Structure 1
Amino acid sequence: MAKKSRTKARDQQPTAGEVGPRQPCPCGSGKRYKACHGAAGGAPAPFVSRPFEGLPSECDIVAMRELVPAATAPLTLVDHPDRAVQLCTLLPMAAPAMVRDSGEIWLGLQVQHNFGDPARDLGAVLTKALDAEAGIVGLTDPPGEGPRLQDLVSGDRLAVTVHDGFEFWIGDVDEGDRAAMAAALEQANTAALPTARLTTVEAAYWTNVGSKEHLRWVMPEPEDRLLDALARLHAAGQDHLVDGSRFVGMFRAHGLLTPVWDLPVGTGPEPLEEPAERFAADLAEALAQTGDLSADERAARSGLANRQVTIR
């Protein structure tokens, strides 16, 4: 019996690129795949591994959803170019969207629901908000068929503003109503780690977690090509940024890799600008190489692959 069970287990092992039934579901729900998007009868919606592909500043959107506490970026709508819409990391009560008294729409990225395709969720919420009165707009059921956020917005780049805290929540609120939000605002600000977006490269964010500082840099290249290039740089000793910095691994989120560096306390974002620009140039050269990896580079790649943490 034991031999039969082992044979059955071997037969059920996932092939490369597949998710095993007992592995965590890649949607980020925390459930096993067989109890979530691998359940019999299908999931509420197909899981999309790279949901923000095709959106302006895809890498920044991934960072705003997963890494950055407080940031905003205006969106331009295809069919409503004069309607003010603000993409936000987090809204009060993790609301999916809010229609302000002015008619401006705030669209939240860090939300509690997950129906398999965040871009379709965002599209559904935005569509509802366009016809809603002032107040909170949300999703209680899977969005079903409908436009994704990519279908509703135009442009090729977002102007991201990183905030020190969540005071932008009350920027358009009357003075008399601000007191009611004071407690929620204070609590949110306490959890917001100091963060800054570098200006010389795209989607690279410095943050201070107290005991150390990090640079987290969301990159758009396909995973295999990026790992090869990073391995080349690591083997050549070209993956450090400033004295005392160390390339420690990567996050994987929404189909993209986010390399992470540890930085000495007190570094701050400004000294990273020139080294990051230089690293981007070195990375571009490494990405252009097509030859086989050397033995040292293969070993470096294996080590990097083992230092990945999947967020979504």
Structure 2
Amino acid sequence: MGKSSRVKNRTSAAASVPAGEGAVNPRQPCPCGSGKRYKACHGAAGGASAVFNARPFEGLAGECDLIALRELVPAATAPLQVVGAGDRIVKLCTLLPMAAPAMSRESGEVWLGLQVQHNYGDPSRDLAAALQLALDSEPDLIGLPSAPGEGPRLQDLVTNTSLDVTVHEGFEFWTSDLAATDGLEDALAQANEAASPTARLSSVEAAYWTNVGPKEHLRWVMPEPEGELLDALARLHVDGADVIVPDARLVGMFRAHGLLVPVWDLPVGTGAEVLEDPAAAFKTALDQALADTSDLTTEQRSARSGLANRQVTIR
């Protein structure tokens, strides 16, 4: 379901969230990223001061794709429309050289790196702070050495009505506007070596095929509320309608930044193109299942419990 080094057993709840579905286990790592157990961090009386935001990108256009780019996709970019940027090009990137939070480029472009973890509680505010620093800086790599305080969030700066994602085979986009690439060759080679082939489906939103060597996966970030989505997936599972393509299997799901990401194992050699029509058909069936508000049957409740037990929270 993903690289184990990036999969962290977190939950998406803050200290103020009551116990129940999606609530944090006191013994699990705190979802703020401090490395402490929740009961010793945000779960403790007078605990950590940073306010953890369980769904930091809610309200942004392309929220599901943005989560995929932050957590699942190796190399991708998307243009941003940013308040105060004037005619400068601002580009959202999965990862930047040296894992920098942001870059001010010699070309005048500003790039924002999604996959940097700051552990300040709200990735949207962290990213907005790095973006503002880059807009105000001379060409250079931009760091974020301290918490951004009560500054703006991405929702306050980004005016996109949609997110136009381009998935790249590797990180050559790092050097596409440079006349000389001295000093970047080794970093570029290492980044490319670690990047699994990935493609975004065009027939549905925020669904990504990837080949991780011995396996292929379809990972699909879905915007529906967790409880409703689990009900719908359980209905489809009991009907045998969650297979996507022959011999594919819904093996579990991530919970990332407040949304669920169902994951299918695919037969090796499937590729992305063959998934387009089946994914669109599955989306139609899912919408119908979501519209069904009848009580789950005993079999459907059992299937739902199995799906809920196969969740891993990564952010």
Indicate whether the TM-score tops 0.5: yes
| Structure 2: gaps (5+ residues) | 1-17
| 38-47 vs 293-302, which moves further | 38-47
CA contact (8 A) 2:79 2:164 kept: yes
Match of 1:138 among 131, 139, 143: 143
Secondary structure of the equivalent of 2:132?
A: helix
- Alpha-carbon separation, structure 2, partners of 1:113 and 1:26: 12
For 1:56-75, list aligned pairs within 5 A: 56-75=61-80
**Residues 104-147 of structure 1: per-residue CA shift (max 9 Å, x gap):** 11000111422110000011111111111110112111110011
Identify the residue that residue 181 of structure 2 maps to in structure 1.
178
Moved over 4 A (4+): none
Identify the residue that residue 271 of structure 2 maps to in structure 1.
268
Identify the residue that residue 43 of structure 1 maps to in structure 2.
48
Residue 99 (1) aligns with residue 85 (2): no
CA contact (8 A) 1:44 1:142 kept: no
Between the aligned residues of both structures, percent identity stands at 70
Residue 31 (1) aligns with residue 29 (2): no
- Alpha-carbon separation, structure 1, partners of 2:153 and 2:199: 29
| 68-77 vs 17-26, which moves further | 17-26
| Structure 1: gaps (5+ residues) | 1-13
CA contact (8 A) 2:100 2:113 kept: yes
Match of 1:240 among 238, 243, 246: 243
- Alpha-carbon separation, structure 2, partners of 1:51 and 1:265: 35
Identify the residue that residue 227 of structure 1 maps to in structure 2.
230
Paired residues, number: 297
Match of 1:211 among 208, 214, 230: 214
Secondary structure of the equivalent of 1:178?
A: coil
| Structure with larger Rg | 1
RMSD: 1.4
- Alpha-carbon separation, structure 2, partners of 1:39 and 1:84: 44
- Alpha-carbon separation, structure 2, partners of 1:208 and 1:66: 16
Residue 15 (1) aligns with residue 19 (2): yes
- Alpha-carbon separation, structure 1, partners of 2:108 and 2:52: 33
Secondary structure of the equivalent of 2:255?
A: strand
- Sort the Cα spacing of 1:275 and 1:104 in 2 relative to 1 into closer, same or farther, 3 A: same
Identify the residue that residue 251 of structure 1 maps to in structure 2.
254
Identify the residue that residue 198 of structure 1 maps to in structure 2.
201
For 1:78-93, list aligned pairs within 5 A: 78-93=83-98
CA contact (8 A) 2:235 2:289 kept: yes
CA contact (8 A) 1:94 1:112 kept: no
- Alpha-carbon separation, structure 1, partners of 2:32 and 2:279: 31
Secondary structure of the equivalent of 2:300?
A: helix
TM-score, scaled relative to structure 1: 0.92
- Alpha-carbon separation, structure 2, partners of 1:112 and 1:227: 29
Structure with more contact order per residue of length (Cα contacts < 8 Å, sep ≥ 6): 2
CA contact (8 A) 2:40 2:47 kept: no
